[in-house]
Amino acid sequence: MRSLLPTSVQIPKVLTIAGSDSGGGAGVQADIKVITALGGYGMSVITAITAQNTLGVTRIQDIDLDVVEAQIDAVLLDIGADIVKIGMLASPEIVRTVAKTLRKYGIKRIVLDPVLRATSGASLGGDDTAQAMIADLFPIATLITPNLDEASLLLGRDIAAPDDFKLAAQELLDMGPQAVLIKGGHLDATHTQLTDYLMWRTIEDSLEVVQSKEFKHYRVNTANTHGTGCSLASAIATYLADGHDLPHSVAKAIAYVEAGLEAGRFLSIGEGPGPLWHMHDFYPTALLDEKEKN
């Protein structure tokens, strides 16, 4: 069938490779919402199906390796992708399958959110999966975005305070990715101001230079934080695909998630911690506080 759109019309094409969240707040569902809200075209490869809601994860079913590979083939052979965002990969075998297939297509830009544990505490990977990520995905990743728990698991020691971030980022950078963003959202409640720490490599005059930048922002007072990590990584990927540089993409993505948390403060979705409000730019009524609603 002949396309009705002019071939010159292009928008950022973002492929998310991640698990499905039946509750719609995280995983592939959140990724697609973010990509669409920021003007990109979202595509997906499902690596696992989770039975999940705002109260937690009750079951996980990995997708067969050949089906994971077939999904990547189907998207990249026809549509292509300007960037790939990777989330939950629940086993070392899935990690290796994804890495092998992306290498086959020569994918150059990859944002890896090393999802190893759900906010509820449920394991979504583990030590073997973390080691497979280090060996097979870190060397081809443009950016990795671990939270404090994930950084601790990857490094084998606790990363618990902003003073730890610089050394942790350097050690993670030495594992192979081009850039590391350590997210401070899991800092304890005494930290009313949060710090995210970005470290990245650049080439200047044929020499590798390592740069870093801190992003400080306030903690939004809300329990509705489900899916923030997935959403941040997808936002960074979409901004990168749209031509923004890395520090600018990170800054814009942090602002997007912060606005989503603020907009979703009073949303009532489920009995547990709900999601941020991804569509705040289009449907801002969720910004109203309880007094304004009544």
Q: What is the pLDDT of residues 53-109, one digit of tens each?
A: 999 999 999 999 999 999 999 999 999 999 999 999 989 999 999 999 999 999 999
Lowest-pLDDT choice from 2-6, 38-42, 271-275: 2-6
Edge-first strand order for the sheet with 143-144 is 56-62, 41-53, 13-21, 83-86, 110-112, 143-144, 179-182, 193-204, 207-218
Identify the pLDDT of residue 134.
97
Identify the pLDDT of residue 234.
98
Identify the pLDDT of residue 186.
67
Q: What is the mean pLDDT of residues 161-177?
A: 94
CA dihedral (271, 37, 179, 262) in degrees, to 10, reads -50
Is residue 8 domain-resident?
no
Domain that holds residue 168: 13-293
Is residue 219 domain-resident?
yes
Residue 87: how many other CB atoms lie within 10 Å: 27
Contacts of 78 (CB under 8 A, 6+ apart): none
Does residue 1 register a pLDDT over 70? no
Which residue, among 83, 77, 133, has the nearest Cα to 108 in the 3D structure? 83
**What are the backbone dihedrals phi and psi of residue 52, each rounded to the nearest 5 degrees, phi first?**
-150, 145
Is residue 2 domain-resident?
no
Identify the pLDDT of residue 205.
80
CA 277/CA 287 separation, integer angstroms: 9
Q: What is the pLDDT of residues 213-239, one digit of tens each?
A: 999 988 898 999 999 999 999 999 999
Identify the pLDDT of residue 204.
81
CA 88/CA 146 separation, integer angstroms: 12
β-bridge mates for residue 199, sequence order: 180, 212
Q: Which long-range contacts (CB under 8 A, 24 or more apart) does 64-71 make?
A: 65/93, 65/94, 65/97, 68/17, 68/94, 68/97, 68/98, 68/101, 69/97, 69/100, 69/101, 71/44, 71/45, 71/46
Identify the pLDDT of residue 291.
45
CA 72 to chain CA mean position, Å: 18
Q: What is the pLDDT of residues 189-211, one digit of tens each?
A: 666 788 999 999 988 888 889 99
Q: What is the mean pLDDT of residues 255-260?
A: 96
Does residue 5 or residue 91 have the better pLDDT?
A: 91
Is residue 29 domain-resident?
yes
Q: Give percent above pLDDT 90 in the chain.
A: 76
Q: How confident is the model at residue 9 (pLDDT cuts 50, 70, 90)?
A: confident
Is residue 30 domain-resident?
yes
Q: What is the pLDDT of residues 110-150, one digit of tens each?
A: 999 998 865 555 556 678 999 999 999 999 999 999 999 99
Pairing state between β 41-53 and 143-144: unpaired
Pairing state between β 56-62 and 41-53: antiparallel
* Count of structural domains within the chain: 1
How far CA 107 is from CA of 41, 65, 69, 95, in Å, comes to: 17, 19, 14, 15
Give the number of C-alpha atoms closer than 13 A to the C-alpha of residue 158, restricted to the C-beta side.
Answer: 4
**Token couple for 277:** 């409000």
Catalytic residue IDs: 183, 225, 227-230
Is residue 284 domain-resident?
yes
We report the CATH number of the domain holding residue 274 as 3.40.1190.20
Is residue 97 domain-resident?
yes
Is residue 3 domain-resident?
no
